[in-house]
Structure 1
């Protein structure tokens, strides 16, 4: 579970805490959630480059359990443990030991932002010229037809 500063436009951030406060059983979890979120933020502030991929899994009896998505990052993080412990101690966290767990995170599907391809009028004219100058043969017929369709669409709708 990631405790980052994510913001959903349709909901205010306090709606989740209000939901937790309504139920007695869930309200008991609220201090623990806030504590873990605060610890996650303090770790991220100390090691921002590394902690973008890591998570705080648990913090019990002075033992901090962190997850890393791969062994390479876990090795780098292990080298930074003394720095992390010192920084967290200065922020008031009593951490005696830091353990690391390599744990593959669920892959988040990233949808690339697609934008329409825009062509200048000179480019559209060049494709039109190419479709007219290509040799009329059986192999070139599909290419010529595709070029002519593209030129027609671009001239009808320049924003297409």
Structure 2
């Protein structure tokens, strides 16, 4: 059984390990190395940062988000990433994380959640679409991969978004 809880600094070794696996696999990110905990912590909003743990309290996945802009008008817009330990894929971890993340983001007042996903990452696309995200655009040849099976190749990403049904509907 998977449950979610807020991410804390002590989770970093597991979060970093799972991120490193995503980097190595080549279908999750353009990143080439993991950041330090301090850099990760400084770049992610604290009110929607979660880990998934199994029955033994082992971290099996995580989700976190960054603000898309420092401008006040975009204060309710975040871009998230969700990662699952490769040993735990297909067990509902991603869905548990995404559902809990959406609840936390809405409780914190965010009105738009975005993500960029490689078109080849069909598992992530299906997960996001089942959670109410929609494809709003395709960024063609947005960047060149430097690691994994796509090293040296230009890659597209799909821009996904989920609009809150609770936030962002008031009149200014």
- TM-score by shorter chain over 0.5: no
Q: Greater Rg, structure 1 or structure 2?
A: 1
**Which structure has the highest strand share of the two?**
2
TM-score bracket for the superposition, by shorter chain length = under 0.3
> Greater RCO between the two (CA within 8 Å, min separation 6)?
2
